[in-house]
């Protein structure tokens, strides 16, 4: 269960430090934006590889900065809608240049922790919950999503998400920046190596939204199509999301 330890920040954007049960590795979870008791919607930002507590809030490339950028964009798009955003480093994010980043061990463990986190949130709020999942974290989300009480899951810069889509009624989204190097990574899975199906391919069944021209770490950059669409997904304003020309 998540436990409230401290509060920092302003009245507009509150960062709440939460602790997961003691486990090895570097874990950090923070909540920003509206109080869970009054939130209309909840989004969980799930990061990929190379995410550490030391850089958690350093920029929009990292979960804390991404959460703040998402809130700012949501406030611009829907100033009267109350959004709570959790920046979730609830698993041991592997280094990008490592064998661990090519295998599913950390993601499998992370998926279990993510399911516990969502279950804890569901006890605190009835608001719809969205998972916004980047890179390696997208595989953890794909493993966690089936049967989870969430409304949406969005994969961005994904190396692969397993063999099948998340169970209905979860709405699945996928976005890939034009200059994201992950598109050159083979979407295959051999045992523990690799991550399987590409959510950008039609058979997976995702709604493929416009993620702009950015690179692998640019999805939450202010002013981008990717941030706008992620905010709209988090807000539940699905009819306003812009799609890839060949997808919907």
pLDDT in tens, 83-118: 999 999 999 998 887 888 888 899 999 999 999 999
Task: Give the Cα-Cα-Cα angle 104, 22, 95 (nearest 5 degrees).
Answer: 35
pLDDT over 60 at 153, yes or no: yes
Rounded CA gap, 90 and 104, in Å?
A: 15
pLDDT range class, residue 164, cuts 50, 70, 90: low
Task: Give the pair of three-digit tokens for residue 175.
Answer: 């976005």
Taking the C-alpha atoms of residue 138 and residue 149, their distance in angstroms, rounded to an integer, is 17
Q: Where are the alpha helices (DSSP H) in the chain?
A: 63-77, 105-124, 136-144, 225-235
Q: What is the model's pLDDT at position 27?
A: 86
Residue 185 near residue 159, CB atoms below 8 Å? yes
Please tell me whether the peptide bond between 29 and the residue prior to it is cis, using omega within 30 degrees of 0: no
pLDDT over 90 (residue 119): yes
**Mean pLDDT value of segment 65-75:** 97
Are 207 and 243 within 8 A, CB to CB? yes
Mean confidence (pLDDT) of the chain: 87
Q: What are the distances in angstroms from CA 185 to CA 105, 138, 167, 182?
A: 18, 14, 26, 5
DSSP state for residue 54 in the 8-state scheme: G
Torsions phi, psi for 222 (to 5 deg): -55, 140
Check residue 10 and report its DSSP letter: -
pLDDT score, position 25: 52
The residue-averaged pLDDT of 117-129 equals 96
Please name every residue paired with 88 in a beta bridge, in sequence order, or none if there are none: 29
Model pLDDT, residue 246:
58
CA nearest neighbour of 185 among 159, 218, 224: 159
- What pLDDT, in 10s, does the model give residues 167-200? 567 999 999 999 999 999 999 988 888 899 999 9
Q: What share of the chain in percent tops pLDDT 90?
A: 72
Between residues 124 and 27, the one the model is more confident about = 124
Quickly tell me which residue has 């949501």 as its tokens.
74
Give the pLDDT score at 165. Answer: 63
């Amino acid at each position: 269960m998540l436990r409230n330890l401290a509060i920092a920040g302003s009245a507009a954007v509150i960062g709440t430090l939460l602790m997961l049960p003691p486990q090895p590795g570097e874990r950090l979870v923070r909540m920003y934006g509206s109080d869970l008791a009054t939130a209309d919607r909840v989004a969980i930002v799930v990061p990929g590889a190379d995410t550490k507590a030391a850089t958690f809030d350093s920029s929009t490339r990292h979960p804390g900065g991404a959460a703040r950028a998402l809130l700012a964009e949501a406030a611009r798009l829907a100033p009267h809608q109350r959004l709570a955003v959790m920046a979730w480093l609830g698993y041991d994010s592997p280094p990008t240049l490592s064998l661990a980043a090519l295998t599913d061990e950390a993601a499998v463990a992370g998926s279990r922790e993510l399911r516990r986190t969502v279950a804890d949130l569901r006890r605190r709020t009835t608001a719809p919950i969205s998972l916004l999942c980047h890179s390696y974290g997208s595989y953890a989300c794909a493993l966690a999503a089936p049967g989870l009480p969430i409304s949406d899951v969005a994969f961005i810069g994904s190396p692969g998400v397993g063999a099948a889509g998340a169970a209905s009624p979860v709405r699945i989204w996928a976005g890939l920046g034009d200059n994201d190097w992950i598109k050159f990574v083979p979407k295959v899975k051999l045992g523990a190596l690799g991550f399987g199906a590409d959510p950008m391919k039609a058979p997976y069944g995702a709604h493929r939204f416009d993620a702009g021209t950015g690179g692998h770490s640019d999805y939450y950059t202010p002013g981008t199509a990717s941030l706008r669409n992620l905010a709209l997904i988090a807000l539940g304003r699905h009819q306003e999301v812009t799609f890839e020309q060949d997808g919907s």
